Structure 1
Amino acid sequence: MARVLVVEDDPDIRQLVELRLRGLGHRVVSAASGPEALTVIAERGTPEVVVLDVAMPGMTGLELLHNLRAQPEHAELPAIFLSARVRPEDIAAGEALGATYLTKPFVVSALAAAIDKALAGAGQAAAGW
């Protein structure tokens, strides 16, 4: 299965997503913030897919993905936003970055399908993890 980085500031939601993804066979590492996610990627390498919250303090998920996509080695990193924000402008901003946008509360099968679709479209092999 895939190496997945989960970036979520709410510890309960982060743990739930981790447990669900591990239950599906994925290798999961998580971060509680954008800066922490950047550190995880620097230390462990690029994940095969990243699952991000939008509304996080300090650095939003949109800002984090924009930052990652600005780096050539992460320009094609598959991303899925998992957010309670359902404003059209947030969804459009996530999709403009090439990410899938799912809303909370989430259905595990929808997240699993989004990860499978993201991986099918990605041809990268990530090191580490």
Structure 2
Amino acid sequence: MTHDIVIADDDETIREIVEFKLDGPDRSVTAFENGRECWEHLESNGSPNLIVLDVMMPGLTGLQVLERIREDDDLSSVPVIMLTSRGREEHVVEGFERGATDYMTKPFSPNELVARVNSRLR
């Protein structure tokens, strides 16, 4: 079984690291550089198994994409991991209040991200 993972981060280096670490024989990773492209993909391609979102992105922020995901009947149950430099307590609380499944702050451990993704894909 192949797990479909969608990533959205405006930082090309972060996107490449996350894509490299998460891509594999049982995973298909699709990456976007902004929230609008990510949302358009989700609307037209259906429900992936997991989504990783940066908060601060052009077009739509990660929180705006997250809100749309949680309001969409087809996407509302998809796990969403926020991966962001916004790490103050109120930012983390806001992410969870808006429906994030998990929240990681940058700089981050790619191996920890893989572990968190693996725990959500079981």
For normalisation by structure 1, the TM-score amounts to 0.84
Secondary structure at 1:77 match in 2: coil
- For 2:93 and 2:3, how far apart are their aligned partners in 1? 26
Aligned counterpart in structure 1 of residue 116 of structure 2, from 114, 117, 120: 114
Regions of 4+ moved over 4 Å: none
Q: Which runs of 5+ in 1 are unaligned?
A: 121-129
Identity in percent = 33
**Within 5 Å, which residues of 2 pair with 1:64-83?**
64-83=65-84
CA RMSD in angstroms comes to: 1.6
- For 1:98 and 1:36, how far apart are their aligned partners in 2? 19
Give the conservation status (yes or no) of the 8 Å contact 1:79–1:118. Answer: no
Q: Which moved more, 1:47-56 or 1:1-10?
A: 1-10
Q: Which one-letter code corresponds to 2:45 in the other structure?
A: R
The reply to whether residue 101 of structure 1 matches residue 103 of structure 2 is yes
Q: Which one-letter code corresponds to 1:108 in the other structure?
A: P
Secondary structure at 2:87 match in 1: coil
Give the conservation status (yes or no) of the 8 Å contact 1:49–1:78. Answer: yes
- For 2:8 and 2:105, how far apart are their aligned partners in 1? 15
Q: Which runs of 5+ in 2 are unaligned?
A: none
Pairwise CA distance, 1:98: 3.6
- For 1:23 and 1:91, how far apart are their aligned partners in 2? 29
Pairwise CA distance, 1:119: 2.2
- For 1:42 and 1:75, how far apart are their aligned partners in 2? 12
Pairwise CA distance, 1:117: 2.2
Q: Which residue in 2 is equivalent to 1:10? A: 11
